[in-house]
């Protein structure tokens, strides 16, 4: 156990700092502080020594230099059991500092402020804070370093239980957390500055970060995601697993679970797939996913209608699926969904009536999610990582290239665009049959495109006559087109770009089929 006799406090986030400081003073600790933190503590009636009184040197350069001083770092870093260290600090009048309470300038929040100036971004790179944190963490045998408001409560309990002293185990835990903080902070800065122009703009220029899909891929991949939750196991029981989150509170990693069993690794993977697909569609939409592939997707005027249409595509595969919905789930939709065995439902919100209805299924996981901005996609390979842009590609009607003699009707165009957006989320090779905002048959993950076309038609329960078909990549031969037309499709959407495009277009004309090219493919591996 080590007593806390002198504390240096310098925090950007002042939540709870007054209450924590009061606990420290209760056990005789002297408070030393800087600028705004000192002012906050004094206004609360606490006695505080200014950092300039400790160092004998004024804060200067607009606060850039205040804690970078031997009387600060010497007070933190000297080893109490080392006679030479004790002699040195005594000779120079350096007083020991037993605890450092610091949180860092809000660099990332500043970075994303609308219209923030370049100079303000640079000014919010903390120097003194990380230096004190690292010094205190390195000397954890003698010094406690507190970097998170979330730790105040447990430290208060320990201080009260031990008359103002902290254990070595606590100091070690705090040091580990402190080094993780400074590592993540430096990586955030490095990643952000890498995206800004090579020639820094004038100080008053706006520091515009590239949009997610325009942002250059980093020269060095730096990733720090704290563990959000441990999982029972991975894809299979013999594999360990955990979920790590970027701290934004958005996307599947930032989900809020309302009810149901613990989420599994496979649940999370499927939830991510159906959430992303549901978000792709602008109208009220429902996506039913099994093993990351959709087995039914639909849009309609209401969520309950969209659900009924999506379920009708493949009700057998929907058993035990996960469901993604892009609107609040209301009571009417919940009353229909509760009749089906479903592993999990993800939506932006659930009405109180929906929650009550769905609570009848105690094991059903209900998950609320806030949309996340598009981010680069990473995948492990042996010995390294692959990274690519998120697939932000979206085609609108005006961008379609009509290549057949017969142009598609407006109803066909609407259905083609719907099928195309679903195909983007189907494992390649992918063929999607659809009509009136409803999938009818989905051929996913086949080794040949013609087999995907056959499989999608084979899976169809609803009639395919008069439907449309989407192919995530070009038809390499006319045979795939002939299969979808033979199944009932009257119009087809595909990227084009095959050396045999002319043969495929000729086959479309021979079959009186409307065909459009997107000029964009959507492979999904």
Report DSSP letters for 186-214, one per residue.
Answer: HHHHHHHHHHS-SSPPPTTSB-PPPPTTT
As a CATH number, domain 264-368 is 3.40.140.20
User: What helix, strand, coil percent values describe the chain, rounded to 5?
Assistant: 35, 20, 40
Segments of the chain assigned to CATH 3.40.50.1380: 2-195
3-state secondary structure of 486: helix
The one-character DSSP state at 149 is G
CA dist., res. 522 & res. 167, Å (int): 56
What is the per-residue pLDDT for 271?
97
Q: Quickly name the fold that domain 399-517 has.
A: Cytidine Deaminase; domain 2 (3.40.140)
3-state secondary structure of 524: coil
105-123 pLDDT per residue, tens: 778 777 777 877 888 888 8
The one-character DSSP state at 172 is H
CA dist., res. 72 & res. 135, Å (int): 10
Q: Could you tell me if 420 and 395 are in contact, meaning their C-beta atoms sit under 8 angstroms apart? A: yes
- Structure-block tokens of residue 376: 């680069």
- Structure-block tokens of residue 110: 């500043």
- Cα dihedral 115, 121, 124, 130 sign: positive
Segments of the chain assigned to CATH 3.40.140.20: 264-368, 399-517
52-64 pLDDT per residue, tens: 777 666 665 666 6
Which residue numbers are catalytic?
138, 291
What is the per-residue pLDDT for 95?
85
Residues 6+ apart with CB under 8 A from 500: 475, 476, 477, 478
Q: Which of 328, 330, 283, 272 is nearest to 310 (CA)?
A: 283
409-448 pLDDT per residue, tens: 999 999 999 999 999 999 999 999 999 999 999 999 999 9
Which one is the CATH code of 2-195: 3.40.640.10, 3.40.50.1380, 3.90.1150.110, 2.40.50.100? 3.40.50.1380
Q: What is the mean pLDDT of the chain?
A: 90
Count of residues in the chain:
525
What is the per-residue pLDDT for 206?
63
Q: Which of 120, 107, 119 is nearest to 200 (CA)?
A: 119
143-189 pLDDT per residue, tens: 999 999 989 999 999 999 999 989 999 999 999 999 988 888 888 88
What is the per-residue pLDDT for 109?
77
Spans of the chain, pLDDT less than 50: none
CA dist., res. 63 & res. 176, Å (int): 28
The one-character DSSP state at 477 is S
């Amino acid at each position: 156990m080590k007593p806390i006799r002198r504390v240096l406090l310098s925090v950007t986030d002042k939540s709870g700092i007054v209450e924590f400081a009061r606990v420290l003073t209760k056990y005789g600790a002297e408070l030393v502080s800087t600028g705004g933190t000192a002012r906050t503590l004094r206004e609360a009636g606490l006695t505080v020594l200014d950092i300039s009184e400790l160092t004998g040197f004024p804060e200067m350069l607009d606060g850039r230099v205040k804690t970078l001083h031997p009387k600060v770092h010497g007070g933190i870093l000297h080893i109490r059991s080392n006679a030479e260290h004790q002699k040195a600090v005594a000779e120079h009048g350096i007083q020991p500092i037993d605890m450092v309470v610091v949180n860092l300038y809000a660099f990332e929040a500043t970075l994303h402020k609308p219209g923030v100036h370049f100079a303000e971004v640079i000014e919010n790179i903390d120097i003194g804070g990380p230096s004190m944190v690292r010094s205190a963490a390195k000397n954890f045998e003698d010094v406690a370093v507190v970097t998170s408001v979330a730790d105040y409560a447990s430290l208060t309990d320990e201080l009260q239980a031990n008359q103002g002293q902290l254990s070595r185990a606590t100091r070690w835990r705090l040091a580990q957390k402190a080094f993780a903080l400074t590592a993540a902070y430096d990586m955030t800065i490095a990643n952000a500055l890498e995206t800004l122009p090579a020639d820094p703009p004038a100080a008053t220029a706006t520091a515009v970060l590239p949009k997610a899909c325009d942002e250059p891929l980093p020269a060095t991949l730096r990733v720090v995601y704290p563990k959000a939750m441990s999982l029972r196991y991975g894809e299979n029981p013999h594999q360990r697993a955990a979920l790590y989150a970027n701290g934004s509170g958005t996307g599947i990693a930032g989900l809020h679970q309302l009810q149901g069993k613990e989420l599994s690794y496979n649940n999370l993977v499927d939830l991510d797939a159906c959430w992303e697909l549901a978000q792709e569609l602008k109208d009220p939409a429902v996506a039913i996913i099994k093993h990351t592939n959709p087995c039914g997707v639909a849009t309609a005027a209401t969520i309950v209608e969209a659900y009924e249409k999506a379920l009708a595509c493949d009700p057998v595969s929907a058993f035990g699926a996960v469901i993604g919905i892009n609107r609040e789930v209301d009571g009417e939709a919940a009353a229909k969904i509760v009749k089906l065995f479903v592993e999990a439902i993800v939506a932006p919100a659930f009405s109180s009536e929906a929650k009550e209805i769905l609570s009848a299924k105690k094991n059903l996981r209900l998950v609320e999610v806030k949309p996340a901005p598009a981010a680069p996609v990473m995948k492990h390979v042996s010995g390294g990582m692959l990274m690519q842009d998120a697939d932000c590609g979206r085609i609108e009607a005006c961008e379609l290239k009509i290549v057949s003699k017969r142009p598609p009707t407006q109803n066909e165009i609407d259905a083609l665009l719907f099928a195309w957006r679903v195909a983007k989320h189907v494992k390649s090779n992918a063929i999607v049959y659809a009509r009136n905002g409803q999938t009818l048959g989905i051929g996913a993950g086949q080794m040949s495109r013609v087999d995907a076309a056959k499989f999608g038609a084979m899976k169809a329960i609803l009639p395919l006559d008069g439907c449309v078909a989407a192919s995530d990549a070009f038809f390499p031969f006319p045979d795939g087109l002939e299969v979808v037309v033979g199944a009932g499709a009257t119009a087809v959407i595909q990227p084009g770009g095959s050396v045999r495009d002319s043969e495929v277009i000729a086959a479309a004309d021979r079959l009186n089929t409307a065909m459009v090219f997107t000029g964009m493919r959507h492979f999904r591996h």
